[in-house]
Chains A and B, each alone.
Chain A
Amino acid sequence: MAAVSIAPAPRITTLILQRKTLAIGLAVILAIALFALLAPLIAPYAPNKLSIVNRLKPPSGTYFFGTDEFGRDIFSRTIYAGRLSLTVGAAATVFAGVIGITLGLVAGFFRRADTVIARIVDAMMAFPDILLAIALVAALGPSLATVIVALGIVYAPRLARIVRASTLVIRELPYVEAARALGVPTWRIMTRHVLRNLVSPILVQATFIFAYAMLAEASLSFLGVGVSPEIPTWGTMIASGRQYVGQADWMTIFPGVAIILSVLSLQLVGDGLRDLLDPRLRKDL
């Protein structure tokens, strides 16, 4: 242990690289995001280009992931589908975050609001996720925005619950009392003292929600109630591949692997971030 007193703060990159799971997770999800972003440059074929002659071709040098029943390139489609899945996942998470965190904080702080919010949240949690999402999409009319809003609403209660429960604990802690004794305004106590201490659970939950939302989008597309069917998504790809599982398993395997990789890497990122953000678990001191 060298001079402890005024060591310069370690760079964020070093902190990340020190944690293998976080680094790997981040690398994988960023790679997937990059592929999705640069899809027009990377994809060898247009995602909807038909080639009946080349239908149900197994993976090869020309078609890395093989082709589907219309001869469309699975590799190109998987990359393009990533755009939609990631967008829906991220946007739904942000939406769920804004609603969930606000509701949770308000419920945790104001007893009167709590009685109302807690009931609504419990009622929403009682519905199966997909069923509620289908109902919301049906009510709002199917579109990309609708799917995002619906999934955001479906997953907001999870965050609201976690934030509320933690808020109820933290608001009774002496450091919050100290802030009240100092006359710190309530909204500042909520953000600075409560929310700041909730970053880890919120982040961890957000990565879960990101992953769930991607899965849910795939399920909605699989069921045909998501975005319009001509846009490739991992869900619609698996749905169409289902009929050919015996003959052309690559049709389901590759989009399936894409989902698994994204979900898994998000979880690793969440876990890694939780450790990184908790000063007590930091080992760089």
Chain B
Amino acid sequence: MNHSPSPQGGDVLLSVRNLSKRFHTASGPVKAVEDVSFDVGRGRIVGIVGESGSGKTTAGRCILRLVEPSEGEAVFDGVDLFKLPEKALRAYRRRMQIIFQDPYSSLNPRMRVGDIIGEAIDTHGLAKGAARQARIADLLARVGLSPEHARRYPHEFSGGQRQRIGIARALAVEPELIVADEPVSALDVSVQAQVLNLIQELQKELGLTMLFISHDLTVVEYLCDDIVVLYLGRIMEQGPSREVYANPRHPYTKALLSTAPIPDPTVRRERVILQGDIPSPLDPPSGCVFRTRCPFAIEACAKAVPPRESVSPSHSVACIRQAELATLATQKVTA
């Protein structure tokens, strides 16, 4: 049951197993994340995709213990982060960082940029005095800002520049894993590409491992090695992104991919338009949570949570009809 596809390349930095997070609200427990397992290979970028409310942000926060998980484990370099007491966790905080979606609220408006980045350095005692200043200057240069910017306040910068400051702060402690939570979705389209390129360059240059949370499938396809598709807190499909994009097996993945624009007018794609909204996580559908919006749902879908079925060694789908639907599709093509 614990089996989940591991990325090609062997060396796993982060292994998430059966992660669940329930929020207790006045109207009952909300299952934000339910039984999520995946592996992140060292140096790879794993994309977590889903609509808003799919639990992708909560999953990322749980792994960093910014939100306390309800169940499961997250084994980082051999240590289960969920079992670490706060004090021991502090040492691991240096090894994993986060980049936020909102470049405005993610920087303390009362602190100068130099102090924002400096706080990261100070917290882990990485440098002092002139060395600290040099390091701040170096980090600013690395993200495409100038060292003089250290003396300014966040409000003096544009959204894209602020996001760069956020990236510099994350890099200040030389982390191995970065959780990027929709790092470009709040930016202007013209700036998105610049910041994405920066993230990609830094990732390659520093050999970073990344968890890239996004709802933008084009971005994920461009950037990520592996992909995890979430719906209502559960994994629908996961695997190497090339495989998933070329051969999506879950009806939800298909629907998602069909909404992504293709920059080639000659390519036609069958559009699957989902009806209705994502159901309330307070009262999720029985069995397969996607069945209420699934065009292929049958009675059996309501009976039990669909088990994970392997399509290939690293590609798996949680759909009881995936094999059947796949043959149906090929029949259609050949017919």
Contacts and interface: CB of A to CB of B under 8 A. Distances in A.
B83 interface: no
Contact of B108 (A5, A180, A196): A196
Contact of B102 (A174, A182, A197): A174
Query: Residue among B90, B108, B156, B169 with the most chain A CB within 10 A?
Result: B108
B97 A174 contact: no
Contacts of B156: 285
Interface residues of B, number: 33
Contact of B98 (A173, A181, A184, A196): A181
A182 B119 contact: yes
A178 B100 contact: yes
B123 A174 contact: no
Contact of A175 (B66, B107, B148, B155): B107
A178 B98 contact: yes
A181 B166 contact: no
B151 A181 contact: no
Contact of B97 (A173, A181, A184): A181
B109 interface: yes
A181 to B, nearest CB: 5
B90 A183 contact: yes
Contacts of A173: 105-106
A166 B105 CA distance: 15
A280 B64 contact: no
A193 interface: yes
B105 A175 contact: yes
19 contacts: A6-B151, A174-B100, A174-B105, A174-B106, A175-B105, A175-B107, A177-B66, A177-B100, A179-B119, A181-B66, A181-B97, A181-B98, A182-B93, A182-B120, A182-B169, A182-B173, A184-B123, A192-B119, A280-B109
Interface of A: 5-6, 173-175, 177-184, 192-193, 196-197, 199, 279-280, 285
Interface of B: 61, 64, 66, 89-91, 93-94, 96-98, 100-102, 105-111, 119-120, 123-124, 148, 151, 153, 155-156, 166, 169, 173
